[in-house]
């Protein structure tokens, strides 16, 4: 597992002290103004031994909220709250990126006292908001051209705010069925304007967000998470393959900090991708690739040695083991993760 503990140069601005990244993990523990708390700063600081912390998904504006007490990055109080977190991580020698989030149709008007939520098209998802079971998902309003323009600006502003808050960079959340991903799949995007119907159109908004954020803070500080395989809040459609082929080839004209696989279990395979999501992304992209999803230090190290990806993100085991990297380094056994652990920030 030596290779996991070696430094990795992302680019001329950022070098990571090892290849173990903390995967973004929503914890729903911000205060009622969606401001990060001291407990969150302590929680992240305990994990500063990882090569890079990617924070829990953080909403770029009020109508992006789909879960209770998820933090924001759209006002002064939130920026100040995050500054406490980034200072704590930096003091321990860590690096930290903020994951930028808008849940799109997975949002709920209840959280922001609104009349509707925005999506790519007026196609809702079934079910209720986790943790607030009485809230049924609503049918979104298809974002207008003006609303899309505003969203691009809001992603850009959120990235600027992240830098003011002391983050080393951001990861744009383009995965897991949330707003950007809703434009990238045929089951959620039936638009008939320049944002729908063809791979070129369906990738237009996500690419505009990548470009706006890169322009604001530098592409070398901008990562992107993608889910070419629909597995969460999204129905599969084999035509999605062409959208992601096109998206990855367009992204190759840019050099981002990294691309991150958006999946819970990388052993999952998708017929239309010809295998796992990580294998598909590796084959179709030249960017630095972060693998994730059900890996142990052993299996992740082997995958890196086999060049399946370059960096390994660890999610649930890092909830159970704040000192994960130290345990790997010294060969100690790990505490097993259980969902019960989500109740407290340790």
Ligand X SMILES: Cc1cc2nc3c(=O)[nH]c(=O)nc-3n(C[C@H](O)[C@H](O)[C@H](O)COP(=O)(O)O)c2cc1C
- The residue within the footprint of ligand X, chosen from 254, 316, 327, 329 (CB under 6 A), is 316
- The residue within the footprint of ligand X, chosen from 21, 47, 52, 56 (CB under 6 A), is 56
- The residue within the footprint of ligand X, chosen from 57, 85, 100, 290 (CB under 6 A), is 57
Residue 99 is a binding residue for ligand X (CB under 6 A):
yes
Instruction: Pick the closer one to ligand X by CB: 335 or 342.
Output: 342
Q: Given the residues 178, 186, 246, 295, select the one marked as catalytic.
A: 178
Instruction: Pick the closer one to ligand X by CB: 176 or 188.
Output: 176
Helices (H) and strands (E) in the chain, counts: 12, 12
Instruction: Pick the closer one to ligand X by CB: 214 or 233.
Output: 233
| Smallest separation, CB 197 to ligand X (Å) | 27
Task: Give the whole-angstrom CA distance, residue 66 versus residue 105.
Answer: 9
- The residue within the footprint of ligand X, chosen from 14, 25, 35, 259 (CB under 6 A), is 25
Ordered DSSP codes for 43-102: HHHTTTTSSEEEEEEEESSGGG--STT--B-SSHHHHHHHHHHHHHHHHTT--EEEEEE-
Both tokens of 97, joined, read: 């990126």
Q: Which stretch binds ligand X (CB under 6 A): 140-148, 205-213, 270-278, 315-323?
A: 315-323
Name the 3-class secondary structure at 259: strand
Closest residue to ligand X, Cβ-based? 315
Residue 151 is a binding residue for ligand X (CB under 6 A):
no
Task: Give the whole-angstrom CA distance, residue 246 versus residue 203.
Answer: 8
Residue 26 is a binding residue for ligand X (CB under 6 A):
yes
Show the CA angle centred on residue 246, arms to residues 150 and 228, nearest 5°.
80
Residues 274-303 that bind ligand X (CB under 6 A): 292-294
Q: Which stretch binds ligand X (CB under 6 A): 30-38, 111-119, 172-180, 278-286?
A: 172-180
Instruction: Pick the closer one to ligand X by CB: 84 or 290.
Output: 290
Instruction: Pick the closer one to ligand X by CB: 104 or 199.
Output: 104
Name the 3-class secondary structure at 226: strand
Task: Give the whole-angstrom CA distance, residue 24 versus residue 268.
Answer: 20
- The residue within the footprint of ligand X, chosen from 159, 165, 170, 314 (CB under 6 A), is 314
Name the 3-class secondary structure at 16: strand
Task: Give the whole-angstrom CA distance, residue 158 versus residue 43.
Answer: 23
| Smallest separation, CB 44 to ligand X (Å) | 13
Q: Which residue has the tokens 């700063």?
A: 41
Residues 210-249 that bind ligand X (CB under 6 A): 225
Phi, psi (rounded to 5 degrees) for 51: -60, -35
Residues 6+ apart with CB under 8 A from 86: 96, 165, 166, 167
- Residue 246 catalytic? no
Contact set with ligand X (CB under 6 A): 23-26, 56-57, 99, 173, 175-176, 225, 262, 264, 292-294, 314-317, 342
Q: Which residues are catalytic?
A: 178
């Amino acid at each position: 597992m030596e290779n996991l503990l070696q430094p990795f140069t992302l680019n001329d601005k950022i070098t990571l002290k090892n290849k173990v990244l903390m995967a973004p993990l929503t914890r729903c523990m911000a205060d009622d103004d969606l401001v990060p708390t001291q407990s969150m700063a302590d929680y992240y600081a305990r994990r500063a031994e990882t090569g890079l912390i990617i924070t829990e998904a953080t909403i770029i504006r009020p109508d992006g909220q789909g879960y209770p007490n998820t933090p924001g990055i759209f006002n002064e109080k939130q920026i100040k709250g995050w500054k406490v977190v980034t200072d704590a991580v930096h003091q321990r020698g860590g690096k930290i990126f903020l994951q930028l989030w808008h849940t799109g149709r997975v949002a709920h008007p209840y959280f922001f006292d609104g009349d509707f939520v925005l999506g790519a098209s007026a196609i809702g998802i079934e079910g209720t908001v986790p943790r607030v079971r009485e809230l049924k998902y609503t049918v979104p309003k298809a974002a207008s051209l003006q609303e899309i323009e505003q969203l691009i600006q809001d992603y850009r502003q959120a990235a600027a705010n992240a830098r003011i808050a002391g983050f080393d960079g951001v990861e744009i959340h383009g995965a897991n069925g949330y707003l950007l991903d809703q434009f990238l799949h045929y089951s959620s995007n039936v638009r008939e304007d320049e944002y729908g119907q063809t791979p070129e159109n369906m990738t237009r908004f996500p690419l505009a967000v990548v470009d706006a954020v890169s322009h604001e803070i530098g592409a070398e500080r901008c990562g992107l998470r993608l889910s070419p395989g629909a597995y969460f809040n999204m129905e599969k459609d084999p035509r999605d393959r062409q959208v992601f082929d096109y998206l990855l080839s367009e992204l190759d004209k840019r050099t981002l900090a990294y691309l991150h696989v958006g999946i819970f279990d990388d052993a999952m395979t998708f017929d239309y991708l010809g295998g796992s999501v990580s294998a598909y992304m590796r084959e179709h992209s030249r960017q630095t690739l972060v693998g994730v999803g059900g890996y142990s230090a052993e299996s992740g190290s082997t995958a890196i040695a086999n060049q399946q990806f370059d960096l390994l993100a660890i999610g649930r085991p890092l909830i159970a083991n704040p000192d994960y990297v130290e345990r790997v380094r010294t060969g100690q056994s790990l505490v097993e993760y259980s969902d019960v652990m989500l109740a407290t920030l340790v």
